[in-house]
């Protein structure tokens, strides 16, 4: 029988990554564990503690269920569920979410909408509606706990749906997700926010890369800021040249597992990522963003005695033109 407390076992304060996880090695990562991490991060203002919290979670995933690392990363990224060039973006409108929450929790869309206008956070509304629900209409017995991979796969399905009947199909999947959220955790809150494409916990892309780097680092070097910076430099370069979290994660896991003691990757070994993540025709690199400067003097100060070139900045579309080995041309 399903036991409520099983869903709340992830313990952020536990130092041992395997004990911290709270799920059995090889089992799917419970969504309750990730939602617990999100809750801790939401209540924390220190950027370093946020990075450490996420790094600890990633390390538990690496030790227990490495195959779920990519879904975990994308649910943290939230706005995109695949590489940016694949354009698999989530961002469900409020109307369909309100309808789905009402039907899943036995309330009405009007009740959900009124509560939303008072609270201003549809995730909290879903959580409140779910926790007050005394019985489940859809299931006679409690449903199987949500897994991270299941939530991710359902979100990808929703993001790819289009056409006349897609609204009903989306609503059905969202209802199923909400019904399976545990009433004692914050799952419903973060499922709905994830579907909106905004977690609202202050987690930036750079923090995710830093936490991922830290999670793979050897314990002997994790506390050294200079070595962290060296490792992060290689991870950032790898991701800039091949901006794909799936390839980055599998490359990190490859480097991690081929080290002798498999306790972690030393900072000097992160350079090995270049074997797998490098400029590749057909995979657009991340565009270089401009850094605004207020005056010519600041530009000259920054470059000092270095020679540099200037050009006018035009408004318009950016395009990358890739010529593939077979002669095909792709424009991104």
Indicate which residues carry an active-site annotation. Answer: 313
CA distance 203 to 315: 30
Check: CB of residue 252 under 8 Å from CB of residue 216. Answer: yes
Check: CB of residue 212 under 8 Å from CB of residue 247. Answer: no
Two structure tokens written together for 133? 């629900």
Nearest to 216 by CA among 269, 260, 170: 269
A 10 A CB-CB count for 66 gives: 18
CA distance 212 to 34: 15
Check: CB of residue 63 under 8 Å from CB of residue 29. Answer: no
For residue 320, what are the CA distances in angstroms to 46, 281, 283, 329?
Answer: 38, 10, 10, 10
CA distance 125 to 181: 14
Helices (H), the chain: 17-21, 31-42, 47-64, 69-77, 94-105, 109-119, 122-132, 148-160, 166-180, 187-196, 205-216, 225-241, 245-257, 296-303
Two structure tokens written together for 291? 């850094």
């Amino acid at each position: 029988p399903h036991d409520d407390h099983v869903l709340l076992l992830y313990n952020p304060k536990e130092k041992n990554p395997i004990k911290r996880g709270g799920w059995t090695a090889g089992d799917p990562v419970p969504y309750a564990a990730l939602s617990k991490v999100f809750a801790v991060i939401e209540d924390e203002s220190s950027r370093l503690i946020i990075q450490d919290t996420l790094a600890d979670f990633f390390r538990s995933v690496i030790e227990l269920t490495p195959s779920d690392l990519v879904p975990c990363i994308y649910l943290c990224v939230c706005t995109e569920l695949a590489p940016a060039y694949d354009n698999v973006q989530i961002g469900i409108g409020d109307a369909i979410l309100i309808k789905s929450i009402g039907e899943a929790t036995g309330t009405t869309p009007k009740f959900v909408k009124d509560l939303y206008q008072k609270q201003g956070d549809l995730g909290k509304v879903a959580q409140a509606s779910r926790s007050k629900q005394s019985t489940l209409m859809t299931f006679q017995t409690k449903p199987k706990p949500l897994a991270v991979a299941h939530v991710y796969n359902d979100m990808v399905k929703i993001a790819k749906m289009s056409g006349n009947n897609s609204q009903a199909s989306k609503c059905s999947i969202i209802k199923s997700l909400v019904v399976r959220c545990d009433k004692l955790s914050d799952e419903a809150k973060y499922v709905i926010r994830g579907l909106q494409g905004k977690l609202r916990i202050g987690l930036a892309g750079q923090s995710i890369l830093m936490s991922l780097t830290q999670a793979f680092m050897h314990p002997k070097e994790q506390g050294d800021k200079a070595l962290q910076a060296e490792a992060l430099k290689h991870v950032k370069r790898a991701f800039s040249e091949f901006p794909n979290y799936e390839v980055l994660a599998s490359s990190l896991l490859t480097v991690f597992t081929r080290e002798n003691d498999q306790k972690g990757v030393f900072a000097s070994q992160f350079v090995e990522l270049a074997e797998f993540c490098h400029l590749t025709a057909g995979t657009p690199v991340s565009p270089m963003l401009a850094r605004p400067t207020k005056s010519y003097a600041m530009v000259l100060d920054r470059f000092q005695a270095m020679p540099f070139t200037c050009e006018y900045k035009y408004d318009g579309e950016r395009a990358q033109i890739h010529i593939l080995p077979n002669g095909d041309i792709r424009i991104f």
